[in-house]
């Protein structure tokens, strides 16, 4: 449902997959959405993209999102019946309801599907308190299992998601492909800081991505307030859009060491990340939010930046194992100060973390991960693929 190109900004995992597949001789067509009133079709980077007129933004509430998901399923099904018959449907969640579309296509058009799991539904809305009805919870849990069973293969985006799927007690054909670190792209201009966000030397932490309830950026605002009130040379940049942005801006009024930037295309994001001293990842203290594969984590690694998390889970474990970041207590800004102080006082320590981040990023490049994915698809869907292109 969601497909972004580098020219638009945002999460570009699907763009990497389609462009890498095209290079391997796999013809890809994409069905996605845009906030326009009519259907459009474009060819970008040799990939044909069908844009359906479905309004959607990160600021939508639960019911508006459900309506958008339903509308996409209806329009996408009618469209795919008109297109040349594909060998395979690659269905990407979220939302989980994309799986119902894939099942319908399989049953009525006899086209198999692979299902990529980026977030745990319905577990995420349950733990977030959005989905409360026992009837709906039971329905979505059964639906989740049905989708996984009907798919010819599953693509898990994190070890935590893999563990969840395996806990369901059904044997699935599964491959684990976390998000990508585009080292080649983010290497351009590395070492140069194009922005000085505060007009003076502050150790700058950037939070780039969604500004929603799940991110709970009160943690960042509170940390900025602590640093300002205690005369600590630390600044914060929040870059992105979402339902909570206006509220965060109001909370941060009067703080000279925090700046808010708009959502922007990738080149600007790259400049902002390169102008930071470290990247700060924030999530609300809810266990399911630790299971995802955050785009901004891998972008930070690809930029060669130390990553600070305020949550646990596999990302925090990976960060620790490869010595490329820190974990801080989000409820205690003083803990953040104590942990970054050594890096302010000794730049060599920061340079070491940055080098380790790049080393880790090179394990997750789009070329390497898409080659694994393509080989797995070849054996799963029995599609002849030209791998070594």
State the pLDDT at residue 62: 74
Output phi, psi for 70, to 5 deg.
Answer: -65, -45
What is the reported pTM?
Answer: 0.93
110: left (phi over 0), alpha (psi -120 to 50) or beta: left
Which own/partner pairs from 139-146 qualify as long-range (CB within 8 Å, at least 24 positions apart)? 140/96, 143/96, 143/99, 143/100, 144/96, 144/99, 145/170, 146/99, 146/103
State the pLDDT at residue 384: 55
Question: Taking the chain (389 residues) in consecutive chunks of 10 residues, what is each chunk's mean pLDDT?
Answer: 82 94 91 94 93 86 84 95 93 89 97 95 90 93 94 96 90 93 90 81 94 94 98 97 94 97 91 96 95 96 97 96 96 97 97 97 97 91 49
Task: Please state, as a whole number, how many other Cβ atoms lie within 10 Å of the Cβ of residue 54.
Answer: 21
Strand partners, 237: 206, 259
State the pLDDT at residue 274: 95
In the chain, what are the domains?
13-180+365-381 (3.40.50.2000), 183-361 (3.40.50.2000)
Q: How far apart are CA 146 and CA 122, in angstroms?
A: 13
**Burial label, 49 (beta-carbon count in 10 A; 0-12, 13-18, 19+):** buried
Q: How far apart are CA 336 and CA 131, in angstroms?
A: 33
Closest C-alpha among 73, 156, 149, 151 to residue 112 = 151
End-to-end alpha carbon distance in the chain: 28
Closest C-alpha among 202, 163, 1 to residue 95 = 1
Q: How far apart are CA 116 and CA 175, in angstroms?
A: 10
Output phi, psi for 352, to 5 deg.
Answer: -65, -45
């Amino acid at each position: 449902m969601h497909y972004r190109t580098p020219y638009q900004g945002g999460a570009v995992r699907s763009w990497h997959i389609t462009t890498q597949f095209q290079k391997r001789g796999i013809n890809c067509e994409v069905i996605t959405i845009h906030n326009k009133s009519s259907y459009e079709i474009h060819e970008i980077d040799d990939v044909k993209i069908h844009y359906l007129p479905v309004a959607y933004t990160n600021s939508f509430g639960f019911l508006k999102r459900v309506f958008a998901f339903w509308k996409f399923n209806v329009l996408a099904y009618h469209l795919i019946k008109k297109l040349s018959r594909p060998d395979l449907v690659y269905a990407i969640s979220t939302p989980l309801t994309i799986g119902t579309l894939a099942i319908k296509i399989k049953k009525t058009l006899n086209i198999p599907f692979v299902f990529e799991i980026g977030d745990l539904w319905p577990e995420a809305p349950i733990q977030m308190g959005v989905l409360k009805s026992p009837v709906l919870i039971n329905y979505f849990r059964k639906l989740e299992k049905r989708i996984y069973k009907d798919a010819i293969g599953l693509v898990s985006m994190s070890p935590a998601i893999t563990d969840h799927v395996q806990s369901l007690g059904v044997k699935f054909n599964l491959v684990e492909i976390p998000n990508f670190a585009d080292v080649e792209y983010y290497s351009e201009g590395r070492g140069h800081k194009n922005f000085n966000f505060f007009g003076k030397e502050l150790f700058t932490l950037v939070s780039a991505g969604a500004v929603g309830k799940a991110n709970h950026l009160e943690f960042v605002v509170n940390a900025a307030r602590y640093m300002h009130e205690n005369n600590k040379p630390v600044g914060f940049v929040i870059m992105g859009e979402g339902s909570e942005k206006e509220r965060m801006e109001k909370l941060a009024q009067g703080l000279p060491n925090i700046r808010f930037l708009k959502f922007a295309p990738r080149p600007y994001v790259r400049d902002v990340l390169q102008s930071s001293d470290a990247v700060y990842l924030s999530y609300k203290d809810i266990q399911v939010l630790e299971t995802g594969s955050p785009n901004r984590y891998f972008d930070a690694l690809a930029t060669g930046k130390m990553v600070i998390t305020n949550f646990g889970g596999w990302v925090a474990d990976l960060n620790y194992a490869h010595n490329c970041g820190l974990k801080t207590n989000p409820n205690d800004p003083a803990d953040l100060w104590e942990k970054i102080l050594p890096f302010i006082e000794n730049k060599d320590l920061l340079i070491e973390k940055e080098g380790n981040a790049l080393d880790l990023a090179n394990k997750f490049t789009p070329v390497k991960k898409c080659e694994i994915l393509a080989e797995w698809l070849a054996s799963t869907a029995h599609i002849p693929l030209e791998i070594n292109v």
